Amino acid sequence: MIDTDVDLSTANTLALPARAERLARPADVDELARVLTGRGADPLFVLGGGSNLVLTGDLPGLTVMPVFDEVSYRQVDEGLAQVRVGAGVVWDRLVADAVAAGWQGLENLSLIPGNVGAAPFQNIGAYGVELADVVSTVEAVSVDDGSNISFDADQCEFAYRDSLFKSRCRGEFIITHLTLNLRRGSDCRLDSFRLGYGGLAERLEGGGPVTPARVREAVIALRQSKLPDPAKLPNAGSFFKNPVVSLTHYQRLLERYPDLVSFPVTGGRKLAAGWLIERSGWKGRRLGPVGMHDQQALVLVNHGGATAVDVLALATAVREDVRQCFGVELEQEPVLMPGAIGVP
C-alpha cells in the first residue's frame, strides 16, 4: 500500500515541516522489490528514523520507509554469536536486547537514535566504537533492478561517518538487513571493552566487574547528561563531524589553546568539533528559532517552528566563526533531503 501526501514533520527528529508525495512502508524484501519496480521514473527517497536528516522541503515522487523488523541470533560458538536484524528495527532496541541477552559489542553505541538501516549508511559511532567494528555483512536491494546484494564489511568502504552507501554508491541501494558479530559478555576481558572516551572509565570505577550492562548504563547516563531528547527538544544529534587537521596545524593551535581537545589519528589529529564551537561563542546561543544546545555545543536544536532555512543559516554562521577563529572547516553530518536550498 502506498499513501499519498503524507506529513513528515513527525518523521524527522528536527521536526522540520515537509510532506511526501507518496510514501511506501514495505515490510519485507519482496514487497520492497515490487515497490521499486512500480515507481517508474519518479524520484526516490529513503527514510529511516529521520534522526540524521535535514528535510529541506517536500519530497516529490516516492519515499520508501522500510519497516523490516525481524531479529534473529545464531550462536557461532560458545563465545561468539551473530545477530541478523532488519533495517526497520529501532537501533537502541537492538542494543538493549543484545546487552540483556549477555552479548558484548554494541554497548558503547547505546541510545543512538534512528533505525538499524541507517547505521551502515552513516557508520554510526560513539565512545570509541563504530558500526564497522562489529558488522559482518550488509544486505541491500538494488534500486536499479530490485536484486538482492550482500556486502561484507570490507566491501562497505567504512570510514569516519561514511560508507560506500553514503558516498560512492549513494542512491544505488536500499539497506534491508545487517548481520553483526557479538561476543559473550561474561567471557570478555576488561581490555576488550572500549572505555577510553568521554569519561566512561571514571563512571565505571569502584562498581565491580565491567560488564556490557554496566557500560550501557554508563553510556546512557553520559548521553542523557549532555544530549537533549529529540522527543522533548527536536535535534539531529551531532550536527558537525570532528575535523581532522595536520600535525603542523594542530601544533599551531595547541600553542594558542593549551586546553584544545583532540584525539590521535593516522597522519594528524582529530579535533573535538564541540570544543571549537563552544570556544567560538556558540554554546547555548540562538539564531531565530534554532540554536546550539546549552549542554553540548555540537548539537543544533529546534526551539520551535524552525524551517530548513533557519537550520542551515545557523550552520553556516557557526562554520564561518570556527573557520575565522581556528582556520578549521567543519563538515555537516546530517544529510540534506531532498537537497541543498538557498540560505539568506
Q: Which residues are catalytic?
A: 161, 238, 333
Nearest in space to 238 (alpha carbons), one of 223, 219, 218: 223
Which residue in 192, 212, 181, 185 sits closest to 74, CA to CA?
181
Residue type, 79: G
Q: Decide if 279 contacts 261 (C-beta within 8 A).
A: no
Q: Please give the single-letter amino acid code of residue 136.
A: S
CA end-to-end span of the chain, whole Å? Answer: 40
Angle among Cα 147, 153, 159 to the nearest 5 degrees reads 110
Edge to edge, the sheet with strand 235-238 lists: 235-238, 299-302, 290-292, 286-287
DSSP string, 173-184: EEEEEEEEEEEE
Can you tell me the distance from the alpha carbon of 38 to that of 206, in angstroms, rounded to the nearest whole number? 59
The strand pairing partners of 299, in sequence order, are: 238
Strand partners, 122: none
Counting beta carbons within 10 angstroms of the beta carbon of residue 60, is it exposed (0 to 12), middle (13 to 18) or buried (19 or more)? middle
Does residue 181 contact residue 188 with C-beta atoms inside 8 Å? Answer: no
For residue 53, what are the CA distances in angstroms to 48, 77, 141, 194, 304?
Answer: 10, 39, 22, 28, 17
Q: What percent of the residues of the chain are helix, what percent strand, and what percent coil, each to the nearest 5?
A: 30, 30, 45
